C-alpha cells in the first residue's frame, strides 16, 4: 500500500533539516563522537536526518508529516525512514572497504528490510530458521547469510543446510558433532568458532557478551575455544574458515574492538603454529552504540573502520600472518536511528509530585526500558504549546508497574489526552521484541521516503490473535 501525502501542497515550507551524525576525523585521542545537537532544535539531533519542522510543531520524516501518518494508520505505529536505512548501510561500506558488512537481522527484520540491505550490498546475520526462511524467500542470497545462536535447534541447522547458508557460527562444543552429522555426505559446511575474548564492553550488564560470565561463545581463557577449533578441524564435513566474536551492545568506544582484534589474531597465530592452518576470515561482530537522547555518545563508525583495519594489519604483520577477510555485523546502528514510534496520550494522572502520561502502547511494543533501562526522548507532535516544560513519566497501558517507556522526561505542562507523542530511535529491538501481552496487538511498520508512505508490516488484529487460539 502506497500513500502519497499532501505535504507538498502545504503553504508553509519545512524548516532546516535536523543535523545528522557524521564521522569525525581520527585524532588518535578520542574514539567516540556525539551527534550535533544544533542551535535551532537540539531535540531533533537523534531523529532521522530527513526530519523537518512543520507548522504547529508537527514534524515530517521522509517528507511525510507525522500527524498524517497517525491519522492514516493509527497508533501506536512504527515509522521507518528508508533513506536513513540505506544511508547507514552505505556509511558502513565506506568505513569498511574490502570487508563483509553483515546486517544483524535480530534488530529488525521484514521482507522490505531484507530487500534494502541486499540492494545496498550487505550480507545478513540471522538467528533462527524463521529469520533465515523469510530472508531467502524474499530473494536474499543464502551464501551471503550467517547463522548465529547459542542453542540452535535441529530445525535451525536443517534449514540452514537445506537452503545453503554461507556460514554457521559454532557456539558450543556439543554443536560440532550435531552439525557435522547433519551435513550431507560429500558436502562441507563453512563454519566460524565464536570466541569469548574476555573483554567487558557494552551499555548494560544484560547486553555484554565478551566475558566468560554469560551464555555465548567459547572461552579463550579456559581453552574451550582452542579445543573446539581442534575438534572442528577433525571433522571432514566442516570447513573452519575463521573466528568470530561479539563483545556486547551499545559500545561507544573503539578500544574494546581493538583489544578483541589483538586477542583473536593471537589465537589465529596459535592455530597456524599448532595445526598449520591459516584461517582466512575474522568476524568482530557488532554492538555499535547509538544515541537515544541528545548529547549521548554514539560510536564513530569511520574511526572504528580506520582503527580496526590498521590494528588488524599491524597485528597480523607482527604475527607473520596474512590479513584475514574482516566481517562486521551492525544491527541497531543501521535500523535504530531510522525508526520513530508514534503514540496517542490516553490519560494524564498527577499523583503526589509525579505526573504520569499514559499512552496507547507500552512494553508490548517496546520492552527495552523494562529489560535494561533504556532512556528515550519523547516529543509532543502536532500541537504548539506555550506551557513550560515539566517533568513527567511516560507509561504504557499494560498491567505492570514496570511498564514505563520514558522516565523523568520533560514535556509541555499542558500535555493532555489525545496528544500525539513521537519517540525517536525506535527502529531496533522494538517490533522484533514485541509481545502479545494483554492481547493489544503489535503495531504496524510504515516506511516513508520521498514524501510517500507505505505499509511494510500491517497491524496485528484481534482476528489474527483469535485465529491462533483453537482451544475450544
SS3 call for 314: helix
Catalytic annotation present for 245: no
Q: Helical H runs in 234-293?
A: 255-275
| Strands 189-196 vs 238-244: parallel, antiparallel or unpaired | parallel
State how far the Cα of 363 lies from the Cα of 361, in Å rounded to an integer: 7
Grid cell digits, residue 366: 517496546
Question: With 0-12 CB in 10 A as exposed, 13-18 as middle and 19+ as buried, what is 399?
Answer: exposed
The answer to whether the CB of 324 falls within 8 A of the CB of 407 is no
State how far the Cα of 383 lies from the Cα of 416, in Å rounded to an integer: 11
Grid cell digits, residue 423: 519517540
Of 89, 127, 245, 399, the catalytic one is: 399
| Strands 32-34 vs 297-299: parallel, antiparallel or unpaired | antiparallel
- What region, left, alpha or beta, does residue 332 occupy, with left being phi > 0 and alpha being psi -120 to 50 degrees? alpha
Which residues does 298 contact at the CB level (< 8 Å), separation at least 6?
A: 21, 32, 33, 34, 35, 252, 289, 290, 291
| Strands 59-61 vs 238-244: parallel, antiparallel or unpaired | unpaired
The answer to whether the CB of 261 falls within 8 A of the CB of 312 is yes
Question: With 0-12 CB in 10 A as exposed, 13-18 as middle and 19+ as buried, what is 413?
Answer: middle
Q: Please, how many CA atoms are within 13 Å of residue 381, restricted to the half-sphere of its CB?
A: 28
- Angle between helix 82-95 and 301-319 (nearest 10): 30
The answer to whether the CB of 316 falls within 8 A of the CB of 281 is no
The answer to whether the CB of 285 falls within 8 A of the CB of 325 is no
Active-site residue set: 399
Amino acid at each position: 500500500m502506497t500513500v502519497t501525502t499532501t505535504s507538498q501542497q502545504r503553504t508553509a515550507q519545512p524548516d532546516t533539516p535536523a543535523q545528522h551524525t557524521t564521522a569525525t576525523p581520527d585524532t588518535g585521542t578520542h574514539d567516540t563522537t556525539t551527534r550535533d545537537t544544533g542551535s535551532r532544535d537540539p531535540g531533533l539531533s537523534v531523529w532521522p536526518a530527513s526530519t523537518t519542522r512543520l507548522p504547529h510543531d508537527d514534524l515530517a520524516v521522509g517528507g511525510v508529516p507525522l500527524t498524517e501518518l497517525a491519522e492514516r494508520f493509527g497508533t501506536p505505529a512504527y515509522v521507518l525512514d528508508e533513506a536513513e536505512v540505506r544511508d547507514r548501510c552505505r556509511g558502513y561500506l565506506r568505513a569498511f572497504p574490502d570487508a563483509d558488512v553483515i546486517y544483524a537481522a535480530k534488530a529488525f527484520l521484514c521482507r522490505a528490510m531484507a530487500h534494502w540491505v541486499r540492494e545496498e550490498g550487505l550480507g545478513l546475520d540471522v538467528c533462527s530458521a524463521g529469520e533465515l526462511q523469510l530472508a531467502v524467500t524474499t530473494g536474499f542470497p543464502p551464501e551471503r547469510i550467517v547463522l548465529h545462536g547459542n542453542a540452535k535447534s535441529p530445525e535451525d541447522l536443517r534449514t540452514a543446510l537445506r537452503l545453503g547458508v554461507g556460514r554457521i557460527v559454532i557456539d558450543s562444543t556439543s554443536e560440532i558433532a550435531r552439525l557435522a552429522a547433519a551435513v550431507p555426505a560429500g558436502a562441507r559446511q563453512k563454519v566460524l568458532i565464536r570466541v569469548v575474548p574476555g573483554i567487558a564492553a557494552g551499555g548494560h550488564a544484560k547486553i555484554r557478551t565478551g566475558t566468560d560470565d554469560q551464555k555465548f561463545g567459547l572461552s579463550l581463557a579456559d581453552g574451550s575455544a582452542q579445543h573446539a577449533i581442534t575438534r572442528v578441524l577433525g571433522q571432514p564435513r566442516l570447513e573452519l574458515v575463521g573466528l568470530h566474536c561479539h563483545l556486547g551492545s551499545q559500545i561507544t568506544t573503539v578500544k574494546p574492538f581493538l583489544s578483541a582484534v589483538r586477542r583473536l589474531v593471537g589465537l589465529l597465530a596459535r592455530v597456524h603454529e599448532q595445526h598449520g592452518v591459516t584461517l582466512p576470515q575474522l568476524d568482530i561482530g557488532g554492538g555499535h552504540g547509538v544515541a537515544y537522547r541528545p548529547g549521548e555518545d554514539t560510536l564513530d563508525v569511520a574511526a572504528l573502520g580506520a582503527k580496526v583495519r590498521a590494528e588488524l594489519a599491524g597485528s597480523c604483520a607482527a604475527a607473520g600472518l596474512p590479513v584475514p577477510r574482516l566481517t562486521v555485523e551492525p544491527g541497531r546502528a543501521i535500523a535504530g536511528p531510522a525508526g520513530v514510534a508514534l503514540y496517542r496520550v490516553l490519560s494524564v494522572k498527577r499523583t503526589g509530585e509525579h505526573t504520569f502520561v499514559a499512552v496507547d502502547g507500552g512494553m508490548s511494543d517496546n520492552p527495552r526500558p523494562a529489560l535494561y533501562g533504556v532512556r528515550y526522548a519523547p516529543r509532543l507532535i502536532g500541537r504548539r504549546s506555550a506551557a513550560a516544560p515539566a517533568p513527567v513519566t511516560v507509561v504504557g497501558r499494560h498491567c505492570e508497574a514496570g511498564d514505563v517507556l520514558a522516565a523523568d522526561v520533560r514535556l509541555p505542562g499542558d500535555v493532555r489526552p489525545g496528544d500525539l507523542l513521537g519517540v525517536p530511535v525506535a527502529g531496533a529491538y522494538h517490533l522484533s521484541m514485541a509481545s502479545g501481552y494483554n492481547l493489544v496487538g503489535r503495531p504496524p511498520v510504515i516506511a516513508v521516503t520521498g514524501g510517500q508512505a507505505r505499509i511494510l508490516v500491517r497491524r496485528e488484529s484481534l482476528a489474527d490473535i483469535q485465529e491462533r487460539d483453537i482451544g475450544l
